[in-house]
Amino acid sequence: MVLHSLTLPADPLWIELSAIVLPTYLANTVLLVVGVGLSALVLGVTTAWLVTMCHLPGRRVLDWLLVLPLAFPTYLLAYASTDLFEYAGPVQSTLRRWFGAAAPGIEFRSLPGAIAVLTIALYPYVYLFARAGFLRGSATLLQVSRALGCGPWRSFFTVALPLARPAIVAGLALVLMETLAEFGAVQYFAVDTFTTGIYLTWFALGSPAGAMQLAAFLLAGVGGLLALERVARGGGRVADAGGGPLPRYPLGRLATAGALTICLLPVVLGFILPLGVFGRLAVEAGDARLGVDYLPLLRNSVVLGATAAGLIVLAAIALGYAMRIAKSRFVAALVRFSALGYAVPGSVLSVGVLAVIGAFDRGANALGLAAGLVAGGSIGALLYAYGVRFLAIALNAVESGLATVRPEFDAAARTLGIGPLRQMARIHLPLLRASLLTGALLVFVDVLKELPATLIVRPFNFDTLAVRAYQLASDERLSEAATPALTIVAAGLVPVIMTSLALGGRRR
Amino acid sequence: MTVRLAVTGLRHRYGAHQVLDGIDLFVEPVEVLCLLGPSGSGKTTILRLIAGLEPVQEGTITIDGRLMGGPARHTPPERRGVGLVFQDAALFPHLTVAGNVGFGLRGGERRARIADLLERVGLAGFESRYPHTLSGGQQQRVALARALAPSPAVMLLDEPFAALDAIRREQVREEAIALLREAGVATVLVTHDAEEAMAVADRIALLDEGRILQTAPPRDLYELPRDRRAAAALGKVNVVLGEVADGRVRTALGCWPVALPAGPVDVLLRPEWLRVLPADGEPSWRVAAIRFQGPISYAWVTADRQPSLIVLAPPGLRLDQRVSVIADSTRAVVVPTRPRHVEALDFASR
């Protein structure tokens, strides 16, 4: 539907606007993506190397501390860090008190600010993948490299980095995609990118066609990133050299201090400080009305998340079995394609979903089935959007679960006199249960955090925790946003811990 | 003679690849038939077809005289009375040992039957253990007990001992085969290990590229292979070019009478059918290499314009020593062939 929009006759007003607006969107988006990409790459790889390859005190704790910023949705991190670092915030105020007028006034809500916040929020993707890459490929080869007389720096650049490259690029591709799709934070920082442009064009300018054309541009960018990720994966199939403990490098006292600072800084900035901000706000200036509002919000979020999780996991099971039974490349390709929605930014997706449902409504009206909007702006539409966006997560879980149900189990059960149906109940279900729960949990949390799609597709007056937090923060009522924000972060911790465990599972 | 399992004219293809190209087999009750062949020869496909895990494309499969599989007939695996054991036990990881063994059992006798089977595979008291806590050999024994539990008429074993380490393998194998014979099951054992096949089989069916080269008891197969490929499948063999004329075969190793029409022949000679003596005339062979293998040693001997022969090395044989080689003409297998060079085939040795 979004692609189709490119062929639509353009709104004349929109044509005029686009000449002014498009270059800005393009420049901002490119700057943002490049800035975040580079800094997340450096930060993620550096921390991963320090934690996996060096003798650091508290390495084990750091190992998972470094992942924690992922628990914060970017928009919440943006609110919290703005509260700290804006002109009137505690940091700049303190600086002014110390240095008087000499302290430079910095506008935090700007493009550089957005880059900084997104870097802190997203670098864990690079970190996680780079760490897994270092752990997987390197142990034996690094020992060889050291035996051949390579010091840490040369080993890093000649052995470890090239080996981990595919993993690192995969992590980087995630960061870039998330940045492209970013809505809440950039909107809050008033940095006009494609995603915010799509939202504004649709709702402020009332031009769905224009919004869809912007969305198509963004999709092209996502397509490019997906290709990049494929290339990285395909080109560098690094054999698992495995084996033995890593040869960790001892560090001097100064180097240890430096390394610790580098590793702790993103954790402090990306998790501890923002958590403190919201915690203080919630305690000190909690919204008096919130008690009344909070419960319905929580209920909306939980019901929505649970329903979506249930439906999406069911769909994923159907698709997973279709792939297993059909064994044809066509079916597999079709399923893969249906899971691509994860790479589509929420705002683009909602535009497409609304368009599809709009067409469906018009069709229904034409047939005289039901008057008015049947589906548009309904919970159904929202669930549909979530389904498109989060199917990939559930499908991954189902597939990894089905992979443990080896074909030999089926064969063994059949020859032992158990028919296909009882086989499901006695073998498949017990073996799949854990991964199905995982998939459902991940979808649930993602739905809880999801902002742009919820914001655009939700029915009138239907608020969730994420939507309310966003609205309150947009209205500069950050303290009232604190409680929903903390709830979202608490929920967000669950998948972070699980991902971290899954990717770092090989560590002994 | 009764036949428990009969396979006739089995042909099977995956896409353009002809996996099986006319397979005929039968197995009697209490008999162990080994399917021996390299990977890709179609062994596992035969098992899958017998078990009913795949429909038969061409040919028939009958068990106790009842047609189970054919182009127009497909009895599902759960109603064939067939047991199946895989290379890596494939125990259900979410069930205990008792749960696995009792998986195919129903009714009141279940408990007693499980206890009896575990007793017989030497794992009494392991009922409540989970598969991942067992060693490879123990897992395989549980898998065997599980497959035996419903008292199948036919047992299919797909390289069940290949994943075990060498020391445990022999013991687990002997116990398993003894148990199967005791249970009176007709057994088809798939393997690529010639020594294993010779050790346990009543008969061996040699499989190569979807066809059966020869079916015979191990000793017959070893001593009377049909051709050089069948000979090489069971162990080291020298293939010496010969020529038959006037009822005598002439080779580089001498002449002796044979009942064959005139023409080129392959003379198949196992290493132990050749005798090595200190040189006492022409032609003289030179010892090029000696390989010590514990109970026996092999030597490779060469001569001018002759590829090397592999022989049993008598004690005291030295490198570069001159020797003469004498073939045991009563054991040499002479089969017609197209002319080729003399060669030493060493496929199945390791």
pLDDT of residue A449: 82
Q: Would the CB atoms of A409 and B90 count as touching at under 8 Å?
A: yes
- Asked if the Cβ–Cβ distance from B103 to A430 is below 8 Å, we say no
The one-letter amino acid at B230: A
Mean pLDDT, residues A347-363 taken together: 74
Q: Which residue has the tokens 């005139």?
A: B262
Q: Do B104 and A416 touch (CB under 8 A)?
A: yes
DSSP letter string over A173-224?
A: HHHHHHHHH--HHHHHTT---HHHHHHHHHHTS--HHHHHHHHHHHHHHHHH
pLDDT band at B339 (very low <50, low <70, confident <90, very high): very low
pLDDT digits (tens, 9 = 90+) for A244-269: 556 677 777 888 888 888 888 888 88
User: Chain B closest CA to A413's CA: distance in Å?
Assistant: 8
**CA–CA dist A158, A25 (Å, integer):** 39
* pLDDT at residue A505 in the model: 47
Separation of alpha carbons B198 and A114, rounded Å: 74
Query: By mean pLDDT, which of A19-33, A362-376, B27-41 is the weakest?
Result: A362-376
What pLDDT score does B250 carry? 92
Give the pLDDT confidence score for residue A475 in this predicted structure: 78
Q: Chain A contacts of B90, Cβ < 8 Å?
A: 406, 408-409, 411-412
- Is residue B103 within 8 angstroms of chain A, CB to CB? yes
> Rounded mean pLDDT of B21-28?
93
Of all residues in chain B, the one with the smallest CA distance to A414 is B78
pLDDT digits (tens, 9 = 90+) for B160-213: 998 888 888 898 999 999 999 999 899 999 999 999 999 999 999 999 989 999
**What is chain A's percent helix, strand, coil content, to nearest 5?**
80, 0, 20
Give the 3-state secondary structure of A231-291.
HHHHHCCCCCCCCCCCCCECCCHHHHHHHHHHHHHHHHHHHHHHHHHHHHHHHHHCCCCHH
At the second CATH level, the architecture of B5-223 is: 3-Layer(aba) Sandwich (3.40)
Domains by residue range for chain A, with CATH: 1-277 (1.10.3720.10), 286-508 (1.10.3720.10)
Question: What is the tens place of the pLDDT at every residue in B256-314?
Answer: 999 888 989 999 999 999 998 886 666 678 899 999 988 899 999 998 777 789 999 98
Instruction: Determine, for residues B146 and A414 on separate chains, whether the beta-carbon distance falls below 8 Å.
Output: no
Alpha carbon distance A163, A458 (integer Å): 45
Structure tokens at A232: 């990285």
Q: What is the pLDDT of residue B344?
A: 47
Q: Give me the mean pLDDT over the B84-112 stretch.
A: 88
Common-topology check for domains B5-223 and B236-345:
no
Q: Which of B53, B76, B150 sits opposite A416 (nearest CB)?
A: B150
Q: What is the ipTM of this complex?
A: 0.76
Nearest to B84 among A415, A418, A426 (CB): A415
- Identify the H or E element spanning A384: helix A379-404
B100 against A88, higher pLDDT? B100
- Span B53-61, average pLDDT: 92
Q: Cβ(A72)–Cβ(A466) under 8 Å?
A: no
Neighbouring residues of B260: CB distance < 8 A, sequence distance ≥ 6:
B244, B247, B249, B334, B336
Measured between beta carbons, the chain A residues lying within 8 angstroms of B84 are: 411-412, 415
B90 in reach of chain A (CB within 8 A): yes
pLDDT over 50 (residue B342):
no
- List the domain boundaries for chain B: 5-223, 236-345
Identify which of A411, A417, A419 has the shortest CB distance to residue B51. A411
**Amino acid at position A73, single letter:** P
Whole-number percent of chain A with pLDDT over 90: 5
Paired sense of beta strands B237-245 and B343-345, if any: antiparallel
- Say if CB A405 and CB A265 are below 8 A apart: no
Name the token pair of A386: 């979530």
Give the whole-angstrom CA distance, residue A291 versus residue A483: 10
Residue among B48, B77, B90 whose CB faces A406 most closely: B90
In B, which residues are within 8 Å of A401 by CB distance? Answer: none
Rounded percentage of chain A residues whose pLDDT exceeds 70: 79
Q: What is the pLDDT of residue A214?
A: 73
Contact B77 A415 (CB under 8 A): yes
Distance, CA of A376 to CA of A458 (rounded, Å): 9
Structure tokens at B338: 């197209």
Q: For residue A506, is pLDDT > 50?
A: no
Mean pLDDT of chain A: 77
Q: Is the pLDDT assigned to residue A19 strictly greater than 80?
A: no
For chain B, give the mean pLDDT: 89
Contacts with A430 from chain B: Cβ below 8 Å:
94
Q: What is the CA radius of gyration of chain A?
A: 24
Which residues in chain A have their CB less than 8 angstroms from residue B82's CB?
415
- Superfamily of B236-345 according to CATH: Nucleic acid-binding proteins (2.40.50.140)
The string of pLDDT tens digits covering residues B222-271 is 999 999 999 999 999 999 989 999 989 998 888 999 988 898 999 999 99
What pLDDT is stored for residue A418 in this prediction?
Answer: 84
Over residues A385-414, the mean pLDDT reads 84
Q: CA of B197, closest CA in chain A: separation in Å?
A: 24
Among chain B residues, the shortest Cα distance to A417 is held by B78
- DSSP SS3 for B140: helix
pLDDT at B82 over 80: yes
> Residue A167: its pLDDT value, please?
79
Q: How far is the alpha carbon of A408 from chain B, nearest alpha carbon, in Å? A: 6
Strand B296-303 to B285-293 pairing: antiparallel
pLDDT of residue B340: 45
Cα–Cα dist B214/B223, whole Å: 13
Subunit contact A417:B150, Cβ cutoff 8 A: yes
Q: What is the DSSP string of B87-148?
A: SS----TTS-HHHHHTTT--STTHHHHHHHHHHHTT-TT-TT--GGGS-HHHHHHHHHHHHH
Residue B235 near chain A (CB below 8 Å): no
Lowest-confidence range among A286-290, A495-499, B68-72, B210-214? A286-290
Residue B140: what pLDDT? 93
Exposed / middle / buried, residue B292 (Cβ in 10 Å: 0-12, 13-18, 19+) = exposed
CB contact under 8 A, A414 and B52: yes
Q: Which residue of chain A is at minimal alpha-carbon distance from B76?
A: A414
Q: Kindly state the average pLDDT of the residues A43-49.
A: 91
Reported as half-sphere exposure (CB side, CA atoms, 13 A), residue A502 has a value of 12
pLDDT-based confidence at B113, cuts 50/70/90?
very high
CB contact under 8 A, A431 and B93: yes
Amino acid letter, residue A278: F
Residue B318 confidence (pLDDT) above 80? yes
Looking at residue A373, its pLDDT comes to 47
B113 interfacial to chain A (CB closer than 8 Å): no
Average pLDDT over residues A101-129: 81
* Interface contact A418-B78, CB threshold 8 A: yes
- The per-residue pLDDT for B116 is 93
pLDDT at A71 exceeding the cut of 70: yes
A162-181 residue pLDDT tens: 777 877 887 888 788 788 87
